[in-house]
Chain A
Amino acid sequence: MNEKLVDSVKETLELIEKKNLEGDVYGLKEKNISYSIKKGELADSSEYEDMGLGIRIKKDGKIGFGYCTPGEEEKGVRIAEELSKISPKLELRLPKEDDTPEPRTFDEDIFESSSEGAELTQKVIDGAKSVKDDIIPTRGSLGISDSMKVLGNTNNVLLKEKSTSVSAGVLTTIHGDKTSINASESRSSRKMDLDFIDIGKTAAEKVDSLREKSELPKGKIPVMMNPDAFAMLMWFGIVPAINGENIRKGKSVYEGRKGDKVASENFNMKDDPTKDWGIGSGRFDDEGVPSREVQIIKDGFLNSFIYDLKEAEKSDTESTANGLRGGFKNPPDISDRNIVLRGKNIDREKLLPDKGILVDGVMGAHTLNPASGDFSVVATPAWLVDDGEIKGKVEGAMVSGNLPEVLETIELADDHKKVYESIGSREIKMDLPSAKLNDVTISGK
C-alpha cells in the first residue's frame, strides 16, 4: 500500500515534468481505528482507510491545485492545470534540499496494537467506573491511527514520513433528580504511553468533585485555567495573530509590534515541530520545507511570525515550514504545527489564587474575536478557589477579557500537557501548562 502511494506520487511528478511545468505532489495514506463508549460500555468499532493525492502545478507563473486518488493521476494534473488559469501570477520557490531533522513520530507499538483497541477502551471504562458507583462514563472514544505522507516536487525532492498517534477521551456523568453534572478527560500521544485507566479515573474524580456547589465570585479576579481550557483560548485568540498573512493585511493585533513586549517576563511561545514525539512534529511541512523551531514570543517579547511558501513570497521573507494541508483535498495554508508554551514553571499548587476560580473547560472559545482577541466564554467545569484551596463547583461563570492584554500579566505553571483537538480540517496541537489569568472579568449567576 505504501509503495502504491510512492509510485503514484512519482508518476504524477513525471506527468508534470513531461509538460515542462513545475509543481509538487502530496500523497497521504491514513488508517484510523476508533472505538466509542456509550452509557458505560464499548458500543462500536469503526475503521477507515483513505489514500489520495494533492497536486499543485505552476503554469505561466500561475498556481493551480487539484486532487485525485491513485490511478487518476492524469485527471488530477489536468484539473490543477485548468485551475491555474484563474490564479494571479506568483513566484513559488519549491524547496530544493531534503536536509530535514528527524523527530520521532512513529511508534511500532501503536502500529502493532491496533487490534487491541477494544481492550484499551475497556480500561478507560473500568477506570471511570472505579471511583464511585453512581459515576457513569456516558460517552467517549479511543482512536488509533497511522499515516504516511509522501512529498515530492520537480526539484527532485522526494520525502517520506510515517507517523502514529493514539488518543482517548471520556465524559463522566452523575445523574441527579433534575439535572446531571459531567466532566471529561482526554489525552493524546504519538506513542503508546498513555495510562488508559487513569484517563477514565481522572474524568470520574473530576465529576465527583463537582457535587458540592460554591458561590460564584464576580468582578476582576484571577482565573486559573487547566491546560485544555487554556489551549482553546490560545488557539482561537493568539494563533491567528501570529499568522504572517494576518500581519501583512493588518488583521492582527500584533501588526507592527515585532520587538515589543507583549507578554509577561519568562513567557515563551514557540512552534517546534522538531521535538521528538510532539503531537504535531514532523521532518517537513506539507510543502516539503524542512521543519524548524520558530521562536514566536521570547521572554515576553514578540519575535517572529509563521509563514508558508506563498505568504513568504508575498511578505518578502522565507517559509517557516508552516504550510499544512488538512488532508490531501486542500492546498497548503499557514498553520501552527506544534506550539510549545513555557513560563516561570511555578508549582501548580502555589499558583492557585487566594481568591478566584479554577477552570477545566471553556464553552465558546471559537466565538472569540480572532481579529481583536476579545473573548467571553463560559467556564465549565469550574471550581471556587479560596485561600489557595479548591472548593466546590461554581456554575454559569462567564470569563471575559482581551487575550493579548491578558498575556501581559499571565503566569504559567509547571504541569505541561500535550493537548490535541480536531476542529474541522484543522487541529489544535499544543504542549502547554496551566495558566493564571490575572486580567479578566467574571460575571454570571
Chain B
Amino acid sequence: MSLKSIISHMKEKGADYCDIRKEKWEQTGLTLKDGDIDKATSGKEEGAMVRVLYENGWGNIGTSNLDELEEAADRALSMAKKSNEYKKEETGMADVDTHQEKVEIEMKENFLDISIEEKVSFLKELEQQLSEDFVRSTELIYGDRLVKKEIATSDGTHVEMKIPRIVTYMIVTGKSDTIQRASEGIGGTGGYELTEKAHEKKDVVLERLETLLEAETPPSGKMSLIMDPHLAGVFSHEAFGHAAESDLVSTGNSCLEGKIGEKVASDIVTIKDNPTMEGYGSFPFDDEGTKARNRILVKNGILNDFILDRENAWKLDMIPNGGARAEDFRVKPLVRMSNTIMEPGDMDFEELVEEVDKGVFAKSSGGGQVNTGEGTFQFNAQEAYLVEDGEIVKPLRDVSFNGFTLKTLQNITGITKDMETGIGHCGKGQTAAVTDGGANVLISEVTVGGRE
C-alpha cells in the first residue's frame, strides 16, 4: 500500500492529521587507532515513522517492519486517541505550502563508489601526518551515510530526498606532566570530496596538542573573554540557539519566551540558522516535509524569529520555517537547529585583543551545556590563552566559563571580520548533524572557572 493510501485511510478513520516518513540508510564507519583499523562497520537498514494527530493527542510509531505499515498506522491512531483523553490544551498544525518534489544533494565524488581499502588508505595517510614526538596516541574516525527519505503528509505534500553526509574526526593524545588531548572534526553534506579538508586541519590539531602540553591551569573569576570563530559558533548554537527552539518556547522552557521584537543582544549581534547554506546540518526539506529556509533569529540585537515546526508555529501563531528534524525513522521529529552562524563584524583580531585588560582568548569548543529556561550556560574551550594588558601572554588548559545567556549577549562588544565554521553533533535526546560558525567575538565579562 502506498504512503498516500495509508494516510487517506487514517483520515477516513478520523485522524485530523497524519504523516509518514520512510527512510533507507546506507552507512560505513571506520576507526583507526594508532595506525591500525580498530573498528570497521557497514550496513543498510530501512524503516518508517507514522505520526497521527487525533483532536489534541499525538500517537507516533517507529518501525523497521515496512510490511506492516498499515497496522502501525492503526496503532498510532489508537495511541493518539488515548493521548487525547489526557490532553486539554488545543493542538494544531500551522499551514505550509505543499510540495511534490524529488531532491538530491550532489556528491561530486560518490562515497559509495569508493572502495573500503581507499577509505582506509585515506585514514592511514592522515595518521602518518600526525606522527610527531609529542603525540602519544592517535585516533581517526571516518563515517559516511546516505539517507533516502520519502515524506508524505495528509495536507498533500510528497517529497523524496537523498542526503549524503560525511565526517572525519582526528583525536591526538600526548603527555607532559599531565595527559592532554586535542581534536578536530571535518565534514559536511556532500560526497567523498569533503575528505580533502581533513589534510588542511591536521596542523591545527597538532599545534593545539603541543600548546596544551605546555599550558597552565587557568585563573578563576570574572574577566573578559575572546571566543574564536568556532567557539562563537558553538556559543550561538548552545546558549542562544536552543533557547530559540519553539518547542522550548511554547512550553515555558525558554528565556526568550515573549521577547520577539525585543532587544536581546548588543547591536552588533546578528545570528541566523540556515539549513539552505553549505554545511553539515543542511537539508532541502525538514522531516515534516516543510521547505527549509534561512531563519534570521537575531537581527542587530533584536529577537526576530524562532526555529519552528508546524505544531509549535500553530501554538505561537508564527510561520513554520522547516525546524523539524528526526535522528532516524525510529523517532518523531523535534525542533532542531541546522547551520547556526553569528554574522561577522568589522574589527581586526589585534584590535579585539587590545581592548582586553585581563581575560582569556578561548579557541575551539570542548563542549557545552545550557539551561534554556533559566538562561544559563557552561562551555569548555579546547585551547586557551591568558590575555593581559592587550597582549596574549601564555597558554592555558581546561578553561571553562559560564554566564547568563541574555546578559552575555548584551556584553558582546566586538566582532571581527573573518568567519569560519566547524561541524558538530547536537544532542537533545536525539543526535543531529550541525554546523556552527562565526568570527572572533569579545565578551566584556563572563565567569571563568579555574583551580586557582
Do the two chains bind? Answer: yes
* Among A48, A249, A399, contact of B63 (Cβ-Cβ < 8 Å): A48
> Do A118 and B61 touch across chains, with their CB atoms under 8 A apart?
no
Main SS at interface, chain B:
strand
Partner of A369, one of B61, B181, B448, B451: B181
Nearest neighbor of A439 in chain B, beta-carbon distance = B451
**Residue in B40, B64, B399, B404 whose beta carbon sits within 8 Å of that of A86 in the complex:** B40
Docked Cα-Cα span, A116 to B428, in Å, equals 26
* Structural contact, B374 and A49, CB atoms closer than 8 A: no
> Whole-angstrom distance from the CB of A263 to the nearest CB of chain B?
19
For B34, what are the chain A residues with a Cβ–Cβ distance below 8 Å?
A: 249
| Chain B, Cβ-Cβ closest to A63 | B40
Which of the four size classes fits the interface of chain B? Answer: 35 or more
| Alpha-carbon distance between A330 and B43 when the two chains are bound, in angstroms | 10
From B91, which residue of chain A is reached at the shortest CB distance? A43
CB atoms of B380 and A47 under 8 A apart? no
Given A173-B253, A396-B376, verify A363-B82 contact (CB < 8 Å): no
Complex: chain A residue closest to B381, CB-CB? A367
Closest to B68 in A: A49
Asked if A171 is at the interface of the complex by the 8 Å CB criterion, the answer is yes
Tell me, in angstroms, the Cα distance from A333 to B331 when the chains sit together: 25
Which residues in chain B, 230-248, are within 8 Å of chain A measured between CB atoms?
Answer: 247
Task: Give the residues in chain B near A424, CB-CB below 8 Å.
Answer: 427, 431
Closest B residue, CB atoms, query A220 = B451
Say whether, besides A46-B332, A400-B449, A400-B451, A182 and B373 are in contact (CB < 8 Å): yes
State which of A35, A66, A87, A139 has its C-beta within 8 Å of the C-beta of B43. Answer: A66
Annotate B387-423 by CB proximity to A: 1 below 8 A, 0 otherwise. 0000000000111101110000000000000000000
Q: How far is the CA of A173 from the CA of B62 in the complex (A)?
A: 31
A321 interface residue per 8 A CB criterion? no
Given A364-B367, A366-B369, decide whether A374 and B398 contact each other with a Cβ distance below 8 A: yes
Q: CA separation between A249 and B59, bound complex, in Å?
A: 49
> Which residues of chain A come closer than 8 Å to B402, judged between CB atoms?
363-364, 378, 396, 398, 444
In the complex, number of A-B residue pairs with CB atoms less than 8 Å apart: 255
Q: Are the CB atoms of A50 and B398 closer together than 8 Å? A: no
Whether A138 lies near B375 (C-beta < 8 A) is no
A444 touches B367 (CB 8 A): no
B451 partner residues in chain A, CB cutoff 8 A: 374, 376, 400-402, 441
Q: How far apart sit A10 and B450, CA to CA, in the bound complex (Å)?
A: 56
- How many Å lie between the Cα of A250 and that of B178 in the bound state? 11
In the bound complex, how far is the Cα of B75 from the Cα of A402, in angstroms? 51
Chain A nearest CB, measured from B40 CB (Å):
4
Does chain B have a CB within 8 A of A266? no
Residues of B close to A45: CB separation below 8 A: 57-60, 79-80, 82-83
Determine whether B88 belongs to the interface, using a CB cutoff of 8 Å to chain A: yes
* Across-interface contacts of B450 in A (CB, < 8 A): 376, 400, 441, 443
B41 touches A65 (CB 8 A): yes
Binds B, one of A14-22, A76-84, A193-201, A411-419: A76-84
Provide the bound-state CA to CA distance between A211 and B358, in Å.
Answer: 34
B397 to A374, Cβ gap below 8 A? yes
Given A331-B39, A378-B376, A41-B87 contact (CB < 8 Å): yes
Q: How far is the CA of A308 from the CA of B34 in the complex (A)?
A: 18
* B199 is an interface residue with CB less than 8 A from chain A: no
* In the complex, chain A residues whose CB is within 8 Å of the CB of B37: 86-88
Judge whether B369 and A443 touch: CB under 8 Å.
no
> Is B251 on the interface with A (CB-CB < 8 A)?
yes
Q: Which residue of B is nearest A84, CB measured?
A: B40
User: In the complex the two chains form, what is the Cα distance from A41 to B85 in whole Å?
Assistant: 11
* A389-445 at interface with B (beta carbon < 8 Å): 395-396, 398-402, 423-424, 441, 443-445
Q: Is A371 an interface residue (CB 8 A)?
A: yes
Contacts of B374 in A (CB 8 A): 179-182, 380
- What 1/0 mask marks residues of chain B from 428 to 452 whose CB sits below 8 Å from any chain A CB? 0001000000000000000111111
- Answer yes or no: A136 CB below 8 A from chain B CBs: yes
Cα of A87 to Cα of B369 in the assembled complex, Å: 37
Interface size on A, residues (CB 8 A): 80
Q: Which residues of the partner chain B approach A38 to less than 8 Å between Cβ atoms? A: 247, 251
Kindly list chain B residues whose C-beta atoms are within 8 Å of the C-beta of A399. 449
Flag if B42 contacts A175 (CB, 8 Å): no
Which residues in A have their C-beta under 8 angstroms from that of B116? Answer: 82-83, 85-86
Interchain CA distance A443-B399 in the complex, whole Å: 13
A179 in contact with B375 given A69-B45, A329-B41, A331-B41 (CB within 8 Å): yes
A96-121 CB contact bits vs B (8 Å, 1 = yes)? 00000000000000000000001001
Contact check: which of B47, B86, B137, B368 meets A251 at CB < 8 Å? B137
| Minimum distance in angstroms from B28 CB to a CB of chain A | 9
- Whether A48 contacts B330 by the Cβ 8 Å rule is yes
B230 to chain A minimum Cβ distance, whole angstroms, is 15
Residues of A47-75 contacting chain B, CB below 8 A: 47-52, 64-69, 72, 75
- Which of B58, B179, B376 is most buried by chain A, counting CB atoms within 10 A of its CB? B179
**Residue contact A367 to B366, C-beta cutoff 8 Å:** yes
Question: Is A92 among interface residues, defined by CB-CB distance under 8 A?
Answer: no
Q: Does A39 contact B (CB under 8 A)?
A: yes
CB-based nearest B residue for A115? B82
> Which chain B residues (344-379) contact chain A, with CB distance < 8 Å?
366-371, 373-379
Most buried by A among B42, B222, B427: B42
**Are B82 and A118 in contact (CB-based, < 8 A)?**
yes
Residue B180 at the chain A interface, CB threshold 8 Å: yes
Contacts known (A179-B255, A376-B398); A369 close to B43, Cβ less than 8 A? no
| Closest B residue by C-beta to A79 | B42
Q: How far is the CA of A329 from the CA of B64 in the complex (A)?
A: 14
Which residue from chain B places its CB closest to the CB of A255 in the assembled complex?
Answer: B179
Q: Tell me if A387 is interfacial: C-beta within 8 Å of chain B.
A: no
Whether the Cβ atoms of B447 and A68 lie closer than 8 Å is no
Quick one: given A250-B137, A374-B178, are A44 and B369 in contact (CB under 8 Å)? no
Partner of A250, one of B45, B65, B136: B136
Q: Does the CB pair A86–B117 fall under 8 Å?
A: yes
Cβ–Cβ < 8 Å partners of B89 in chain A = 39, 41
Complex interface bits, B244-269 against A, C-beta within 8 A gives 1, otherwise 0: 00010011110100000000000000
B59-A122 in contact (CB<8A): no
**B80 to chain A: which residues have CB within 8 Å?**
44-45
The verdict on A330 contacting B41 (CB below 8 Å), with A47-B75, A49-B65, A249-B34 known, is yes
Using a CB-CB cutoff of 8 Å, which residues 164-182 of chain A contact chain B?
171, 173, 175, 179-182
**B378 contacts A443, C-beta separation under 8 Å:** no
Give the distance in Å from the alpha carbon of A187 to the alpha carbon of B16 in the complex. 35
In the complex, whether A377 has a CB less than 8 A from a CB of chain B is yes
Question: For A398, what are the chain B residues with a Cβ–Cβ distance below 8 Å?
Answer: 220, 378, 400, 402, 447, 449
Q: Which of A133-185 contact B (CB under 8 A)?
A: 136, 138-139, 171, 173, 175, 179-182
With a CB–CB cut-off of 8 A, which chain A residues contact B431? 424
Contact of B221 with A by CB under 8 A:
yes
- Cβ A376 vs Cβ B380 within 8 A: yes
Of A65, A395, A423, the most chain B CB neighbours within 10 A belong to: A65
Q: List 30 A-B contacts (CB under 8 A).
A: A39-B89, A39-B252, A41-B86, A41-B88, A43-B58, A45-B58, A45-B83, A49-B62, A50-B62, A65-B41, A67-B41, A83-B42, A86-B117, A87-B37, A118-B86, A121-B86, A138-B251, A138-B253, A182-B253, A250-B175, A251-B136, A251-B173, A329-B41, A364-B380, A367-B368, A367-B400, A371-B179, A424-B431, A441-B451, A443-B449
Closest 5 CB pairs of A and B: A398-B449, A367-B380, A44-B58, A48-B62, A376-B400
Write the residues of chain B forming the contact surface with A, with a CB cutoff of 8 angstroms: 34, 36-37, 39-45, 47, 57-65, 75, 79-80, 82-83, 85-89, 116-117, 120, 136-137, 173, 175, 178-181, 217, 220-222, 247, 250-253, 255, 330-332, 366-371, 373-380, 397-400, 402-404, 427, 431, 447-452
- List 19 additional contacts besides A44-B58, A369-B180, A400-B451; criterion CB under 8 Å: A45-B60, A45-B83, A46-B58, A47-B75, A48-B62, A52-B45, A171-B373, A173-B252, A180-B374, A182-B374, A329-B41, A331-B41, A364-B400, A367-B380, A371-B178, A378-B378, A395-B376, A398-B402, A445-B222
